[in-house]
C-alpha cells in the first residue's frame, strides 16, 4: 500500500505544522511562515493569552494578517485575500505547548511572540509516578480547548486547524527538563513511564480533537511528531527509548511524519527508516540529503532553512544552497519558517525567484 504523504504547512501566525499532500506539490515548494513579532509590528496584533483562548478574536486578527500577507506578497498563493475557510481555526493555540498544558504546566504569554513555558516549573519523580492519562484528559485545559471548538462549530461550522502536538521526547523534556536524559540512564523505568504517559495523552487527545473536526467537515487524521530534541540523544538511545512510542503513534493515524527541526538528520536515518507509514521527513541543511532521498523515496521530504541566513547571507550563498537542495533532495519542500521582523520583503521574494528558476530549468515529470 502506498504511503500517504504529508507536506509542510505553516498556518498564519502559528508554528510550522503539516497537512495532507494532494499531488499538486511542485519540485521545490517554498513554505513561508512569519514570527508573531512580524505581525505585531505590521498589524498591531496582540498575541497575549486572549488570542489563544478566544476563537472569535483570533478569527478577526487572522483576517487582518491574511490581508497584510496578500498585500505584501501577491505572488504567493498560500494565502487568498478574503478567504475565510482557514480563519475559524485552532491552529496556533498555545503555540508548541498544548501537551505540557494538559499536564498542568503554566505558560507565559506575550503580545509579540509565541507563548513560553515557565522554566521554573518541572515535574518531580513523585509527580511523574502518579500521572494518570484519564485524569489529565479530563482537566480544565482540555475542557477549554473543546469549548473553543464548540464556539467555532456553532459560529462557522467547520473546525479548521492543526494543533502543535510536539513529539514524545520534546514533551518529556518540557515536562521534566534535562533530568529526563539522566533518567534514561539512571531510572529507565521512570523515563519509560513518562514516555508512555505522554504518548497515550498525545494519541488520545489528538484522536478526540480530530474526530470532532471530522464531524464538523474538516478532514484530518494525521500526526507528525516533532523530534526537535532528537540530537540530544544518540541513535541507539532513540531506538531503545523512543522509537517504540513513535511506532505506536504512527500506527494510530492515517498519515504520519517526523519533524527533526534544523538538525543534521543523517545519524538517525537508519532508525527512522524503521518507522511505519513515513509520509513526511524534514531535516537541516547539514544533512546528507542525497542519502535521505535514497532511503525515503515514498516520503515527502523537506529542508528547514534558517531565517537568520535568509536575512543576513549574501544572495549568492542562498542561491548556492538552493541549488544543492534541488539537486540532492527534490522533489521537496523548502520550509522558510520564522521569518523575522526586519527581514526585507524583497529578500523573501529573492528566495522565491531562485526556487522558481530552478524548477523552470529542470521542468519535466517528477
pLDDT at 33 (0 to 100):
97
Give the separation between CA 330 and CA 30, rounded to whole angstroms.
Answer: 12
Helix (H, G, I), strand (E, B) or coil at 209: helix
Listed in sequence order, the residues at least 6 apart from 323 whose beta carbon sits closer than 8 Å to its beta carbon are 358
Closest listed residue to residue 144, CA positions, set 45, 55, 11, 12: 55
pLDDT at 365 (0 to 100):
54
Strands in the chain per DSSP E? 6-9, 17-20, 28-34, 107-110, 113-117, 222-226, 255-259, 278-283, 300-304, 332-339
pLDDT at 204 (0 to 100):
98
pLDDT at 342 (0 to 100):
93
Instruction: Dig out the grid coordinates for 280 from the structure.
Output: 513526511
Q: What is the pLDDT along the chain (366 residues), one digit of tens a residue?
A: 688 999 999 999 999 999 999 999 999 999 999 999 999 999 999 999 999 999 999 999 999 999 999 999 999 988 888 888 899 999 999 999 999 999 999 999 999 999 999 999 999 999 999 999 999 999 999 999 999 999 999 999 999 999 999 999 999 999 999 999 999 999 999 999 999 999 999 999 999 999 999 999 999 999 999 999 999 999 999 999 999 999 999 999 999 999 999 899 999 999 999 999 999 999 999 999 999 999 999 999 999 999 999 999 999 999 999 999 999 999 999 999 999 999 999 999 999 999 999 999 987 654
φ, ψ dihedrals at 300, nearest 5°:
-70, 120
Give the separation between CA 149 and CA 155, rounded to whole angstroms.
Answer: 10
Give the separation between CA 355 and CA 349, rounded to whole angstroms.
Answer: 10
Give the separation between CA 264 and CA 287, rounded to whole angstroms.
Answer: 4
CB pairs under 8 A, 24+ apart, for 228-231? 228/166, 228/167, 228/170, 228/259, 228/260, 228/261, 228/263, 229/167, 229/169, 229/170, 229/173, 230/169, 230/260, 230/263, 230/268, 231/263, 231/264
Cell 482540555, residue located: 142
Taking every pair of C-alpha atoms in the chain, what is the biggest distance, in angstroms? 60
Query: Does the N-terminal peptide bond of residue 345 adopt cis geometry, omega within 30 degrees of 0?
Result: no
Closest listed residue to residue 241, CA positions, set 296, 182, 175: 182
pLDDT at 82 (0 to 100):
84
Query: Domain residue spans in the chain?
Result: 6-358
Quick: pLDDT tens for 192-222: 999 999 999 999 999 999 999 999 999 999 9
pLDDT at 81 (0 to 100):
83
Q: How many residues are recorded in the chain?
A: 366
Give the separation between CA 90 and CA 138, rounded to whole angstroms.
Answer: 19
Give the separation between CA 246 and CA 237, rounded to whole angstroms.
Answer: 13
CA distances from 244 to 123, 237, 252 (A): 23, 11, 13
Give the separation between CA 242 and CA 195, rounded to whole angstroms.
Answer: 8
Query: Does the N-terminal peptide bond of residue 332 adopt cis geometry, omega within 30 degrees of 0?
Result: no
* CATH 3.40.50.150, applies to 6-358: no
- Cβ atoms of 293 and 301 within 8 Å: the answer is yes
Quick: pLDDT tens for 108-166: 999 999 999 999 999 999 999 999 999 999 999 999 999 999 999 999 999 999 999 99
- Cβ atoms of 306 and 347 within 8 Å: the answer is no
φ, ψ dihedrals at 193, nearest 5°:
-65, -40
pLDDT at 77 (0 to 100):
84
pLDDT at 364 (0 to 100):
61
Amino acid at each position: 500500500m502506498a504511503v500517504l504523504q504529508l507536506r509542510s504547512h505553516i498556518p498564519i501566525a502559528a508554528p510550522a505544522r503539516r497537512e495532507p499532500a494532494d499531488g499538486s506539490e511542485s519540485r521545490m515548494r517554498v513554505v513561508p511562515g512569519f514570527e508573531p513579532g512580524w505581525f505585531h509590528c505590521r498589524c498591531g496584533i496582540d498575541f497575549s493569552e486572549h488570542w489563544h483562548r478566544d476563537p472569535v478574536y483570533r478569527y478577526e486578527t487572522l483576517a487582518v494578517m491574511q490581508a497584510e500577507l496578500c498585500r505584501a506578497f501577491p505572488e504567493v498563493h498560500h494565502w487568498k485575500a478574503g478567504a475565510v475557510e482557514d480563519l475559524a481555526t485552532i491552529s496556533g493555540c498555545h503555540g508548541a505547548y498544548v501537551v505540557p498544558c494538559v499536564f498542568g504546566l503554566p505558560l507565559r504569554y506575550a503580545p509579540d511572540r509565541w507563548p513560553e513555558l515557565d522554566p521554573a516549573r518541572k515535574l518531580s519523580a513523585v509527580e511523574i509516578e502518579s500521572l494518570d492519562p484519564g485524569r489529565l484528559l479530563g482537566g480544565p485545559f482540555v475542557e477549554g480547548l473543546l469549548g473553543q471548538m464548540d464556539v467555532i462549530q456553532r459560529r462557522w461550522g467547520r473546525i479548521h486547524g492543526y494543533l502543535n502536538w510536539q513529539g514524545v521526547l520534546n514533551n518529556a523534556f518540557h515536562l521534566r527538563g534535562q533530568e529526563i536524559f539522566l533518567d534514561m540512564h539512571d531510572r529507565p523505568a521512570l523515563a519509560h513511564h513518562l514516555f508512555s504517559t505522554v504518548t497515550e495523552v498525545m494519541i488520545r487527545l489528538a484522536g478526540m480533537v480530530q474526530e470532532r473536526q471530522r464531524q464538523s467537515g474538516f478532514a484530518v487524521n494525521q500526526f507528525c511528531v516533532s523530534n526537535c530534541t532528537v540530537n540530544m540523544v544518540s541513535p541507539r538511545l532513540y531506538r531503545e527509548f523512543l522509537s517504540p512510542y513513535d511506532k505506536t503513534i504512527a500506527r494510530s493515524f492515517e498519515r504520519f511524519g517526523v519533524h527533526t527541526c534544523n538538525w543534521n538528520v543523517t545519524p538517525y536515518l537508519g532508525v527512522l527508516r524503521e518507522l511505519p507509514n513515513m509520509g513526511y521527513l524534514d531535516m537541516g541543511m547539514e544533512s546528507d540529503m542525497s542519502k535521505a532521498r535514497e532511503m525515503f523515496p515514498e516520503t515527502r521530504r523537506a529542508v528547514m532553512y534558517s531565517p537568520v541566513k535568509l536575512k543576513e547571507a549574501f544572495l549568492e550563498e542562498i542561491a548556492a544552497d538552493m541549488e544543492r537542495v534541488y539537486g540532492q533532495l527534490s522533489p521537496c519542500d523548502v520550509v522558510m519558517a520564522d521569518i523575522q521582523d526586519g527581514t526585507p520583503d524583497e529578500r523573501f521574494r529573492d528566495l522565491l525567484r531562485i526556487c522558481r528558476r530552478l524548477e523552470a530549468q529542470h521542468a519535466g515529470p517528477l
